[in-house]
Chains A and B, each alone.
Chain A
Amino acid sequence: MKKELIQLQHISKSFDGNMVLDDLNLTIHENSFVTLLGPSGCGKTTTLRIIGGFERPDEGKVIFDGQDITSLAPNKRQLNTVFQKYALFTHMDVAENIAFGLKIKNKPSNYIKDKIKYALKLVNLEGFEHRMPDSLSGGQQQRVAIARAIVNEPKVLLLDEPLGALDLKLRQDMQYELIRLKNELGITFIYVTHDQEEALTMSDHIVVMNQGYIQQEGSPEQIYNEPENAFVADFIGDSNILHATMVRDELVNILGTDFVCVDKGFGENNPVDVVIRPEDIELVPRGKGTLPGVVTNVIFKGVHYEMDVEAGGYEWLVHSTRLNEVGSEIDISVDPFNIQVMNKPESEDEKALSVEDA
């Protein structure tokens, strides 16, 4: 296991009586690429600002390399931020922007010159030294912001939706560049996005947040294949999410039909959520599957067909390379291994209830 670099311990933060983060705990390991993922307003930026020192938590501690830095000023922290809106200094040219942090630290001018050259090369902006930020495209400004941060050789780089303003092509290019940078520089990245694909592509470790709570954290594969609740399943890609009842271990009742599954430990006759990825559903001839249904809609998507199937009173989303025409009467069949059983999501109400029970 890698060394623990940053720990957020019991962080709570509210703005004007609005709870934005509630008892948040998070550990970030050295040299990892950690992504905070969640819908708009879930507290990603606030978490990042607390790590950066721009926001003071109401409760809880920020530990950096074993030291409590909760009330340390941002300019004293060994990390740098790439802000959501770039925040370049418009009165300075590209070279001056990049040199800012080094000049503040009184580095010798030869060193600064070398660093500017090196950083511009790293972000593929050689020759842009004397351009003003206003004359650059969004992607170029973005890369200047990254160069400005990395020349300071921070232990940790915080990036707040750094690719949010870019078009798809540039976005993908930048994703590769960032991963390359991370590998070349060996610094820890804490990355914020609300784009699940970006998170799955880039991260070692994903933290899914909603309404100030961490819903699940783990590797991209874990998050995608084994979502712990309906929120995570829904947020990470298209899914069939259904209310179901756990009959007993390894048997779950979905829409009145019993399905064999592999999950245990959810009790007997307990309400649960079930997620089944569209690519994990097989359409088989009538009588050969578990649940009878009718294909109601088909769209060709290039790699696969996207089909809607009406079965058991629910509209199932199915991805398959084999076409079943609209109106086909088929059965739905799912490999037990591909049925993901989850507890109902943690909600404010439930929290309140469990407190009353205790």
Chain B
Amino acid sequence: MFTNRKTSFVMSSPYLAWALIFIIVPIGMVFYYGLTDTTGAFTFENIASIAQPEHSKALWLAIELALISTLICFLLAYPLALILARNKMSSDGILTTLIILPMWMNFLLRTLSWVTLLENRGVLNSILGALHLPQLYIINTPAAIVVGMVYDFLPFMILPLYNSLAKIDDAVINAAQDLGANKLQTLWHVILPLSLPGILSGVTMVFIPSLTTFAISTMMGGSKILLIGNVIEQEFTLTYNWHLGSGLSLVLMVFIVINMVVSMISDQGED
């Protein structure tokens, strides 16, 4: 037993070291900077600054856009994942190509390509113009940011949904039909609740990066629309106020922790 624990400690030490250096220490530094001022004295001011109108506005907009893109991702991904999982035609090959392939491309490039598509004189509007259809002026609006978030994070919704849906035994679905349920009733009473773990992890995996992103909002929003991620980024890279940036990061962390706790609780409630 003792030797076992010793070997397992030795075996895991590289990972523990990795976790210490790249996870624990940075988080500790964020806490340190977030809770001190430039003189190193303890303060809550950095955190309290979330109450400033421009900060709270950026936070609420970020939450709003993250919720909208999570919802859109879910509505797009669920039917697709359901079809892929239930028809079994998706040898994993097709699924990989469909979902993983876009992820091979750097996500900044992918986002940038949407900028080119959606620009006022971009590809989309040239096509619409050629077809004598009304132009779509969407770039540099919150809607464009949502488009970017949905496109970039959709795979993170599809994969967990697919995994949990594929795990549902055909016999269980047959049993629901056998007991008189039509397709919609089967979906609502059986498939949806059984795929809840996948829904929760998909929601978490889309909501958190959407909430914290600054790259997508910078590119699709043309630097005019500030999300909380942009505010934090600017504190670090423009005004060099690491204390304020860290303080706001801590506020954001609270929202992430809330999201994770909620999804963990509802997951446990299921079993």
Contact = CB atoms under 8 A, between A and B. Distances in A.
Interface string A204-241: 00000000000000000000000000000000000000
B176 interface: yes
B171 A84 contact: yes
A105 B180 CA distance: 7
A91 B180 CA distance: 18
Contact of B179 (A53, A84, A104): A104
A73 B180 contact: no
A54 B190 CA distance: 17
B25 interface: no
A54 B175 contact: no
Interface string B159-201: 0000000000101101111111110010001100110100000
A91 B193 contact: yes
B92 interface: no
A100 B171 contact: no
A104 B175 contact: no
A297 interface: no
Interface of A is mostly: loop
Contact of A75 (B169, B181, B270): B181
A88 B178 CA distance: 12
Contact of A54 (B174, B189, B270, B271): B174
Given A87-B169, A89-B172, A81 B181 contact: no
B85 to A, nearest CB: 17
Contacts of B271: 132, 134
A101 interface: yes
Interface residues of B, number: 20
Contacts of B182: 73, 75
A89 B179 CA distance: 12
B180 to A, nearest CB: 5
Contact of B175 (A53, A87, A132): A87
A60 interface: no
A73 to B, nearest CB: 7
A162 interface: no
Nearest to A103: B189
A89 B174 contact: no
A91 B194 contact: yes
A148 B171 CA distance: 14
Given A75-B181, A152-B179, A100 B174 contact: no
Contact of B174 (A83, A90, A132): A83
B180 A90 contact: no
A12 interface: no
Contact of B177 (A73, A134, A152): A73
B246 to A, nearest CB: 42
B176 A100 contact: yes
A52 B170 CA distance: 14
B270 A91 contact: yes
Interface string A38-69: 00000000000000111000000000000000
B171 A85 contact: yes
B179 A101 contact: yes
Contact of B189 (A83, A85, A100, A148): A100
Contact of A89 (B177, B180, B190, B196): B190
A188 interface: no
Given A89-B190, A100-B189, A74 B171 contact: no
A105 B185 CA distance: 11
B169, B180, B270: residue with the most chain A Cβ atoms closer than 10 Å:
B180
A203 interface: no
Contacts of B189: 100, 104
Nearest to B179: A101
Contact of A81 (B175, B185, B190, B193): B175
A355 B188 CA distance: 52
B185, B189, B271: residue with the most chain A Cβ atoms closer than 10 Å:
B189
A80 interface: yes
Interface string B212-236: 0000000000000000000000000
Interface in A132-166: 132, 134, 148-149, 152
A314 to B, nearest CB: 46
Nearest to A49: B174
A89 B177 CA distance: 12
Contacts of B193: 91
Given A75-B181, A100-B189, A87 B194 contact: no
A84 B169 CA distance: 12
B24 to A, nearest CB: 37
11 contacts: A54-B174, A74-B177, A74-B178, A87-B174, A89-B175, A90-B172, A104-B179, A132-B271, A134-B271, A152-B179, A152-B180
Q: Which 8 A-B pairs have the closest CB atoms?
A: A101-B179, A87-B171, A87-B175, A74-B177, A104-B180, A91-B193, A81-B178, A75-B177
Given A52-B178, A87-B175, A89-B175, 19 more contacts: A53-B177, A54-B178, A73-B182, A75-B177, A80-B178, A81-B174, A81-B178, A83-B174, A84-B171, A88-B172, A89-B194, A90-B172, A90-B194, A91-B193, A91-B194, A100-B176, A104-B185, A134-B271, A152-B179
